[in-house]
Copies of this chain bind each other. A is one copy, B any other.
């Protein structure tokens, strides 16, 4: 059990983590800080945190567990404000959806105090954001990817793994590089494609009429286009190299399809669709550890 959780960022991700930790009786006291004082006040009012901290630094003071639940673009600045309170006895985790930039920021800022930092990406979220939507179940049954580096202390890594398992999560581990490549392919690029499709249709004169004809296939394909713009701006900027690489690979596959269609090459077109259809039909949503 942890004595004190220092929660930096009391929004959906941070607030839900606090509620889940309380319900699982994994922490005695939660001291919270959010950039916006009204969010911190609301978190206290809702019982998400026990004490309001007037700064990020003071939220970390006395904590044996710190969760950074801020937008990935704010990671480096936040680490700078708390670094003097971070010591090897503190387990420090984040929840950002890109990992290489977070690890790089931590290396730059924390230097010698890196050993207690365990970079995490819980694969969860919601279209609804903010502390009012915080939910003790947000993490239950979800997968958490941990991306330790060589300077991560083994005991802190183990402590982090146990914590997430106690919250009902499956934990898997990989390098920050593998993480960013994989999520560029299966999450960040698909979001970009869905954003681009919506923009491409709505910018046409008859786009509104076209959308009125769209069916269930379009509904499912485009669902992720409704995601939070601030969060996705940050994710796309923070993982730009891998996203650029995945975009190029995607454009090659798209060009193959366009060429087969343009050439009227039914055999090649069927081969390409067959590959895709077969791969998708054999895919299953899983949360098994690898």
A residues apposed to B, CB below 8 Å: 73, 123, 143, 145, 178, 181-183, 185-187, 189-204, 206-207, 209-230, 232-233, 236-237, 240, 243-244, 246-247, 249-250, 252-254, 256-258, 261-262, 264, 266, 269-270, 272-277, 279-281, 283, 285-286, 290
Contact = CB atoms under 8 A, between A and B. Distances in A.
A206 B182 contact: yes
A271 to B, nearest CB: 9
Given A204-B185, A237-B264, A261-B240, A276 B198 contact: yes
A193 B224 CA distance: 14
Select the residue from A261, A266, A270 with max chain B CB neighbours within 10 A. Answer: A261
A31 to B, nearest CB: 31
B197 A193 contact: yes
B200 A250 contact: yes
B195 A257 contact: yes
A277 B186 contact: no
Contacts of A220: 220-221, 223-224
Contact of A181 (B206, B212, B261): B206
Contact of A198 (B222, B247, B280): B280
29 contacts: A73-B266, A145-B213, A178-B206, A182-B213, A185-B200, A186-B201, A189-B197, A190-B197, A190-B222, A193-B193, A193-B221, A194-B276, A196-B253, A196-B257, A197-B253, A198-B279, A200-B252, A203-B253, A212-B286, A214-B285, A215-B285, A217-B224, A220-B221, A222-B280, A227-B277, A232-B273, A233-B273, A236-B269, A244-B262
Contact of A285 (B202, B216, B276): B216
A217 B186 CA distance: 9
A276 to B, nearest CB: 4
B191 A256 contact: no
B198 A186 contact: no
B193 A228 contact: no
Given A257-B196, A261-B243, A275-B202, A190 B210 contact: no
Contacts of A123: 213, 215
B197 A210 contact: no
A237 B219 contact: no
Contact of A186 (B73, B213, B223, B227): B213
Contacts of A202: 275-276, 279
A117 B236 CA distance: 51
